[in-house]
Amino acid sequence: MNTRFIETFVTLAHLRSFRATARELHATPAAISLRVKSLEQELGTDLIDRSSKTFRLTANGEHLLSHARAVVGAVRKMQAAAHAQDRVHGTLRLGVNESIVHSWLARYIEELDAAYPELEVDLTVDASGVLQRRLLAGELDLVLRVEGIDSDKVMSEALAIYPVRWIARRGLFSPRKSGLIKRVLQRPVLTFGRGTAPQRAVEQIIASLAGQADIPAGQVRITCSPSVAAIVQLIRDGFGVAAIPALFVAEGIASGEFVELPIQPIPPSIVISMCRRVDAGKHVHAAAAVARAACEQYCRQTERNLVEAVPD
């Protein structure tokens, strides 16, 4: 017997309206009617007096209502008991890099607290390389960082793509003048921490651009930093040009403080991944599911040219 049909009957008897019951149970009136008819067929008796102009239960409906309420109550108690035994608690040692801090970390922590109020979060913000070492050493439970981790001890899944652009303070370079690449390379090029995939990609592109502009490779300066805030402040101060996701300076671009420079090629997008050990506890897997949901929601509410969720 379908307990959902029994719950529908109990709710309908309480609200005495198919429309109100449909709103309460997030269904249509037709679906509510079909559930009640299916329950009547299974029980072999009418529960609703359809000959009456006003809502009324049949005699059998009145008689069976108390039994139906008892069944619904028992099911809810069973669900509560199962949730109590399966509750997520303990401490989640969460490691994130600054790309997460400056995008959807606050949303994630808020949703994690709402879903699992008994779960305590011990947060670490560090470079992706450090987070990887600490996860493999068992010092962190869940890591959100640039790139996955190639290890048979770790589960990695891509969550989001952050398109990268060449960003500079407005007025620092005039795109209309010739020799833009040469003028850009006379200043430091800012990008993420040394040894990361974004930094390696930018270094290769800069070497190619330097060759096109006939600039000796030794004269090109690349400044690396794992700190998004530091990079943004440096370009705000006119220190140089940055190869970073436009997401981090979207407001500055909209206000006219920063501009995207028309330099080709554009560095490859940054891929944010979620990593956890294959032997992680239940609370880690539960927290990982919330992280994916929070990231997907953030991406849906943000312009696609700034960040895009990777399908599960």
Q: Strand pairing partners for 154?
A: 277
Give the span between the Cα atoms of 9 and 21, in whole angstroms: 9
| Res 79: pLDDT | 78
Greater confidence (101 vs 177) lies with 101
Q: What is the pLDDT of residues 183-225, one digit of tens each?
A: 889 899 999 888 888 889 999 999 999 988 888 878 889 999 8
CA-wise closest residue to 202 among 241, 235, 238: 241
Average pLDDT value for the chain: 91
Q: Quick one: pLDDT band at residue 82, thresholds 50, 70, 90?
A: low
pLDDT over 90 (residue 38): yes
Give Cα 90 to chain centroid, integer Å. Answer: 22
| Res 88: pLDDT | 77
Q: Quick one: pLDDT band at residue 163, thresholds 50, 70, 90?
A: very high
User: For the chain, which domains are there?
Assistant: 3-85 (1.10.10.10), 95-158+272-301 (3.40.190.10), 164-260 (3.40.190.10)
Q: Quick one: pLDDT band at residue 174, thresholds 50, 70, 90?
A: confident
What average pLDDT score do residues 235-257 get? 94
| Res 296: pLDDT | 95
pLDDT over 60 (residue 180): yes
| Res 168: pLDDT | 95
Q: Quick one: pLDDT band at residue 178, thresholds 50, 70, 90?
A: confident
| Res 80: pLDDT | 73
pLDDT over 60 (residue 311): yes
Residue type, 205: I
Q: Strand pairing partners for 222?
A: 189
| Res 86: pLDDT | 59
pLDDT over 60 (residue 84): no
pLDDT over 60 (residue 85): no
What average pLDDT score do residues 39-46 get? 93
Cα three-residue angle 52-57-60, rounded to 5 degrees:
125
Q: What is the pLDDT of residues 251-297, one digit of tens each?
A: 999 999 999 999 999 999 999 999 999 999 889 999 999 999 999 99
| Res 76: pLDDT | 85
| Res 175: pLDDT | 67
SS (HEC) of 5-20: HHHHHHHHHHHCCHHH
What average pLDDT score do residues 22-45 get? 92
| Res 243: pLDDT | 94
pLDDT over 70 (residue 54): yes
| Res 197: pLDDT | 84
| Res 31: pLDDT | 92
What average pLDDT score do residues 28-54 get? 92
